[in-house]
Amino acid sequence: MSLEDAVRDIRRGKIVLVYDFDDRERETDMTMASQFVTPDSVRTMRKYAGGLICTTTPFNVAREIGLPFMSDVFSDDSGKYPLLRAMAPTDIPYDNTRSSFGLTINHRRTYTGITDNDRALTISEYARTIFSDVPAKERADAIGKNFRAPGHVHLLNASERILESRKGHTELTTALMIMANVNPSATICEMMGDDGNAMGKEEARTYASKNGLVFVEGKDILDAWRRR
């Protein structure tokens, strides 16, 4: 299956599998467009991927509505809590850029926020809100009104020059959404193996084949992005 197959399935609201690089995390993430997330897709990620379910935000959108990187929040508060500065993620073994983690959120209509129904509501409403056709101030106000933090959905902020300074799953999957011409927010979850490690690339490829899913590698996304 090809990148074109992945783009087609993203447009259809299906999950695709994205492996990053042999010299990076060496992980495969279940990936889909956030606008299409349902309780069933959250359940699939929870049961058959098993990692952390996260939702990406394009850099320009995060900047427009004032969504910070979590590392910036920690840095700004390190005067009051010095331990935060000591814990700065400056030694990530597979990446020499800052972590893409942003805030964690729950929609205010959720109960605990962790159930499949709750997380699907949070993700789908978040995607609808940040891409609504209103000024940034109104979108920011809607986020404050309708979401609380911390919560159970982890937001990831894509880097400013996507797939240039950083080539993580946050950027790969956000770029995939852009190429599919859907709202550029991906919901992703790492696939875990039964040996205590991330699922190996070939095992993930076999899972994709058995379940009718497209498997695509980061190098294919990166090559297509550079040709755009």
In the chain, where does DSSP find H-type helix? 3-11, 39-48, 59-65, 70-76, 82-86, 116-130, 136-146, 169-180, 201-210, 218-227
Residue 183 catalytic? Answer: no
Residue 181 catalytic? Answer: no
Residue 189 catalytic? Answer: no
Q: How far apart are the first and last CA of the chain?
A: 20
- The count of domains in the chain is 1
Print the domain residue range for 71.
3-227
- Mean pLDDT value across residues 172-184: 97
Residue 138 catalytic? Answer: no
pLDDT per residue over 11-66, tens digit each?
999 999 999 999 899 999 999 999 999 999 999 999 999 999 999 999 999 999 99
Q: Side by side, which strands form the sheet with 215-217? A: 101-107, 147-157, 54-57, 186-190, 28-33, 16-19, 215-217
Active-site annotation holder among 19, 20, 25, 54: 54
Give the 3-state secondary structure of residue 138.
Answer: helix
Task: Give the pTM.
Answer: 0.94
Give me the CATH number covering residue 181: 3.90.870.10
pLDDT at residue number 102: 95
Placement of tokens 């959905």 in the chain: 153
Residue 154 catalytic? Answer: no
Residue 54 catalytic? Answer: yes
